[in-house]
Amino acid sequence: MTPTEIKSALAALGGKANKKLGQHFLIERAALEAIVDAAAIKQGDLVLEIGPGLGVLTDELSARGAEVIAIEQDRRFIPFLARAQRHIVHGDAAALSWHEFIGDRSWKFVSNLPYAITSLALRKALWSSNPPEIVVALVQREVAERAIAKNGKTSLLSLMVALASSEGRIIRRVAAGAFYPPPKVESGILRIVPMMPEERLKRWGIEPEKIMALARRGFAHPRKLLTSNLGLSRDQQPVLPIPHLARAEDLSPDQWAALARAIGVRIELS
């Protein structure tokens, strides 16, 4: 859709883009095609989409043969989206149980995600008991970069992604001008290949949720030493498989897993 078409559609629906819901409608064809291509959409694929808005991405997914379940919070868009007899769910994707719509079927997660729920949406997809085959999300560029550890530095978000996936990368950047209305920041297309729950346990040797619980404590005060954040005494520190002066961001996912295993076996944290 062009900006003129979007303005016309919004006017017919009785308003403008809702800033509180982070509504920025994709108008760049190349970015749209890059998202769908990255998801390798084929006939019969089940796709969950969050925040379809005016259905630009929904239309492209459907045109490639996907069965799309779209969750939209803005009530204005529901009749507009349902015109093509799609499966449209009105509600807050952050609060809804996605399993209710997906069940045990194989599925893909493809969305132009509202910035405010990016981290939560990624976690709900990746850490599901039935994770998608692939996650392709258009997100704020800064968030995309935090989701993929760079320069040897780990963030809580990149650890969450790494613990639940076998691959993650940024496909391409998307300029603010690719949207209407344009946001104040660049975006990026994030592509992630999730692991099944049994693969996670085999890969890390411990339930990843236990690693994340430990990491949340470790990242509580990022500038402090990790041992300080975890409240470890000097006599406990020598048995840990991490550098003495490490901060939370200095540990790789493998080191976080090793630390969680060591603490789980040898050390009782208060």
Q: Average model confidence (pLDDT) for the chain?
A: 91
Q: What is the pLDDT of residue 236?
A: 59
Residues pairing with 109 in the sheet: 48, 135
How are the residues of the chain apportioned to helix, strand and coil, as percentages rounded to the nearest 5?
45, 20, 40
- Contact (Cβ atoms closer than 8 angstroms) between residue 75 and residue 57: no
pLDDT tens by residue, 108-117 = 999 999 888 9
pLDDT tens by residue, 219-270 = 999 899 998 998 876 665 556 778 888 999 999 999 999 999 988 754 444 4
**Dihedral sign of CA atoms 126, 128, 269, 238 in order:** negative
- Contact (Cβ atoms closer than 8 angstroms) between residue 188 and residue 172: yes
Mean pLDDT of 15-21: 84
Paired tokens of 14:
């009785």
Q: What is the pLDDT of residue 239?
A: 64
Q: What is the pLDDT of residue 86?
A: 80
Determine if the peptide bond prior to 181 is cis (ω within 30°).
Answer: yes
- Which of 4-8, 49-53, 127-131, 150-154 is the least confident region? 150-154
**Among residues 154, 153, 156, 100, which one has the least CA distance to residue 129?**
100
**Among residues 74, 60, 5, 66, which one has the least CA distance to residue 30?**
60
Cα of 226 vs its chain's centroid, Å = 26
Neighbour tally for 31: CB within 10 Å: 21
Q: What is the pLDDT of residue 268?
A: 45
Q: What is the pLDDT of residue 233?
A: 67
Strand pairing category for 87-90 and 67-72 = parallel
| Domains of the chain and CATH, by start | 3-196 (3.40.50.150), 205-266 (1.10.8.100)
pLDDT tens by residue, 146-202 = 999 877 799 999 999 999 999 999 999 999 999 999 999 999 999 999 999 999 999
